[in-house]
Every structure is written in structure tokens, then in C-alpha cells.
């Protein structure tokens, strides 16, 4: 996959981010704040697992940076940016408030977004297609604990530099690889692509935007455009819509300069050809 340098300043029509997992030790809140502060958008979709209630129950973790992310998003909404929050399985309790507002943030179970070039996109977290979540939730919780354990192993010093992402988006870590392989198996067993296509057809949508899998992707199957905006635990990725309706995945590199927001702005990497 070809990787190109994104233009600056970064102004987009729409931004999709998910799987921030605020409240967990894995959340990359500082990098996320830098990304948000230099990315001008008209609309933001928070596509689930924004706050990790599972992690908060196990090991309460809420540093200042996590609160700053929440405050920043609420501030953008108060300033006129349209913000829609679609809860996922880790913040499922918020689904109770679907159809209501939290400040200027609208909470919805799912949403329809119409791109500038007229395409209808269904926005869902994506756990709705995960048979493990719905049929064996106890196994999903065990898998979450194991994922945290693998991430902890990633941090152990080995004397080797971490390999760069092979495709410009996905990190080559044990935890990321394991999670992706498991999701591939679940998708295969659950008929993921067929179910996604059927759901889009019922919603009269040309495509879908999800999170959940922690694997950023833009692809097509069954004449459906499938977009996954990735996560802010390992891959630090987001999906954006340009003002002409093109969709593109962005990655915030782990090696981004830490000196200033301006330096960070220049380090954003755009991956995948806009579609």
C-alpha cells in the first residue's frame, strides 16, 4: 500500500474515529489530542468504544489526558462542529441514551451519512456483526484481558526496534497481529461480509463505516464500500472525507515529533488512495 504525505493545513468535511478506549492504559490520548487539534473538520463521528467501561471496572485509570480528550470534543461541539457519538460494546451502557443529547453531542445507535458526492454510508460500531460478543460474551471478556496482556508484552524491552507498519497503517506487534487474526476467524465463521451487505441493503446504503476490529481498511465486497477507521490504541488511525466526497485513511505515526502541534501536523501520514 502506497503511503503519501498529507497536505497541510488539514481541513476535511468529516472525521470518523473509534476505539479510543479512554479509561484504559492502552489509550493514546496525547497523540489523539495532537491529531484533533490540528485537524479542522465540519463533522465528527465517534464510532464506539470511546470510553472503555470494561477496563475501568477492572483497573480504574483516568489520567488528565483522557479528560482533556473529552473536554476537547465537547468544546468542538459547542463551537458548532456536528458531533455524533455511536457507542460500541465497551461503552454499551451509553446506548441507553440513543436519541438524546449530551451537551451538543448527539448519541445514536447508528447513523446515515451522505457524502459530498451523494453516497449514503451507514455508521455503526461493528460489534453487531461479532458473533462472539453476542453469543459468548464471557469469551469476549477473556479475549479482552488476553489482549491487554499481549500489549503489555509489546512494551517489554527486547533490544530490537519495533518494525514499521507493513501497509502504512497496521503496527507489527504481537497484540495487533493476534487481534486481527482472531477477528478474521470470527468474520469467516459469522459470514461477516454477507451480513454487512445485507444490513447496508436494508438501510439503502452504498457502504458502511465501522470500528471494532482495530484494523483500518477501505475495501469493497458484494458491491458495498467497507470502511474501518481503525483504533487509537495501537494503529492511531482515522477515516476522513474530503470536501469533494473522497474518503481516505490517515495514520498518526508513533514517531511523530513531540515538540509542537505544528511539527505533529507535518508528520501525519495518509494511507490508501482516496476513494
pLDDT tens-digit readout, 117-159: 999 999 999 999 986 665 556 455 555 555 554 555 555 444 3
Total structural domains within the chain: 1
Work out the mean pLDDT of the chain and round it to a whole number.
Answer: 80
b/e burial code for range 152-171 (CB count within 10 A of at least 16 → b)? eeeeeeeeeeeeebeebbbb
DSSP class of residue 141 equals: H
Higher-pLDDT residue of 273, 146: 146
Q: In what order do the strands lie in the sheet with 217-221?
A: 111-114, 120-123, 207-210, 224-228, 217-221
**pLDDT grade, residue 59 (50/70/90)?**
confident
* Most trustworthy range by pLDDT among 78-87, 149-158, 163-172, 209-218: 78-87
Residue 69 pLDDT: 98
Do 19 and 243 contact (CB within 8 A), yes or no?
Answer: no
* pLDDT level of residue 234 (50, 70, 90 thresholds): confident
Per residue in 152-182, pLDDT tens? 555 544 434 444 444 555 555 655 555 555 5
Tell whether pTM > 0.85.
Answer: no
* CATH (domain of 83): 3.60.21.10
Q: Report d(CA 9, CA 15) in Å as an integer.
A: 15
Number of H helices, E strands in the chain: 8, 14
pLDDT band at 235 (very low <50, low <70, confident <90, very high): confident
Q: Which residues span the domain enclosing 200?
A: 3-271
For residues 7-24, average pLDDT: 87
Q: What confidence score (pLDDT) does residue 186 get?
A: 57
Amino acid at each position: 500500500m502506497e503511503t503519501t504525505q498529507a497536505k497541510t493545513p488539514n481541513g476535511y468535511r468529516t472525521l470518523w474515529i473509534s476505539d479510543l478506549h479512554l479509561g484504559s492504559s492502552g489509550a493514546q490520548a496525547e497523540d489523539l489530542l495532537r491529531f484533533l487539534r490540528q485537524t479542522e473538520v465540519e463533522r465528527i463521528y465517534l464510532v464506539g468504544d470511546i470510553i472503555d467501561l470494561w477496563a475501568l471496572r477492572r483497573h480504574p485509570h483516568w489520567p488528565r489526558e483522557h479528560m482533556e480528550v473529552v473536554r476537547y470534543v465537547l468544546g468542538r461541539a459547542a463551537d458548532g462542529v456536528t458531533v455524533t457519538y455511536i457507542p460500541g460494546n465497551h461503552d454499551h451502557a451509553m446506548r441507553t441514551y440513543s436519541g438524546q443529547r449530551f451537551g451538543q453531542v448527539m448519541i445514536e445507535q447508528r447513523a446515515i451519512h451522505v457524502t459530498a458526492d451523494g453516497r449514503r454510508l451507514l455508521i455503526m460500531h461493528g460489534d453487531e456483526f461479532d458473533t462472539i460478543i453476542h453469543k459468548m460474551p464471557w469469551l469476549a471478556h477473556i479475549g479482552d484481558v488476553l489482549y491487554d496482556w499481549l500489549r503489555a508484552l509489546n512494551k517489554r524491552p527486547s533490544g530490537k526496534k519495533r518494525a514499521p507498519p507493513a501497509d502504512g497503517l497496521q503496527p507489527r506487534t504481537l497484540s495487533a497481529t493476534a487481534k486481527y487474526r482472531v477477528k478474521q476467524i470470527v468474520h469467516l465463521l459469522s459470514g461477516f461480509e454477507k451480513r454487512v451487505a445485507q444490513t447496508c441493503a436494508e438501510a439503502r446504503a452504498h457502504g458502511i463505516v465501522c470500528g471494532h476490529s482495530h484494523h483500518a481498511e477501505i475495501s469493497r465486497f458484494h458491491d458495498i464500500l467497507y470502511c474501518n477507521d481503525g483504533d487509537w490504541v495501537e494503529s492511531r488511525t482515522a477515516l476522513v472525507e474530503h470536501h469533494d466526497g473522497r474518503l481516505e485513511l490517515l495514520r498518526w505515526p508513533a514517531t511523530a515529533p513531540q515538540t509542537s502541534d505544528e511539527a505533529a501536523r507535518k508528520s501525519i501520514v495518509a494511507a490508501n488512495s482516496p476513494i
